[in-house]
Amino acid sequence: MQEIPEYALFEIREPASHAIPFVYNSPHSGRIYPPEFIAQSRLEGISIRRSEDHYVDELFSDATALGAPFLVANFPRAYLDVNREPYELDPRMFDGILPPYVNINSLRVAGGLGTIPRIVAENMEIYARRLRVEEGLDRIENVYKPYHAALRRLIARTHVQFGFGVLIDCHSMPGSIRVAGSNARPDFIIGDRYGTSASAELSRTAVGLFEEMGFTAIRNKPYAGGFITEHYGRPSRGLHALQIEVNRAIYVDEVTLQKRADFPLVAAAISSFMRQMAVYVAQFATDTALAAE
**pLDDT digit string, tens, across residues 23-67:** 999 999 999 999 999 999 999 889 999 999 999 999 999 999 999
Query: Is the pLDDT at 5 greater than 50, yes or no?
Result: no
Q: What CA–CA distances, in Å, run from 226 to 31, 186, 243?
A: 21, 18, 8
**pLDDT for residue 3 is more than 50:** no
Q: Which of 121-125, 161-165, 219-223, 289-293 has the lowest mean pLDDT?
A: 289-293
Residue 178 has a CB neighbour count (10 Å cut-off) of 12
- Could you report the per-residue pLDDT of 9-27, keeping only the tens digit for each? 999 999 999 999 999 999 9
By percentage, how much of the chain surpasses pLDDT 90? 89
pLDDT score at 18: 98
The whole-model pTM stands at 0.94
**10-84+135-283 classified as CATH 3.40.630.40:** yes
Please give the backbone phi and psi of residue 135, each rounded to the nearest 5 degrees, phi first.
-70, -45
Which pLDDT does position 37 carry in this prediction? 95
**Burial of 273 from C-beta contacts in 10 A (0-12 / 13-18 / 19+):** buried
Q: Is the pLDDT of residue 130 over 90?
A: yes
**Rounded-to-integer distance, Cα 70 and Cα 26, Å:** 8
The whole-number average pLDDT for the span 108-135 is 95
User: pLDDT by residue (tens digit) across 160-216?
Assistant: 999 999 999 999 999 998 877 777 899 999 999 999 999 999 999 999 999 999 999
Q: To the nearest 10°, the Cα dihedral for 70, 255, 215, 272?
A: 30
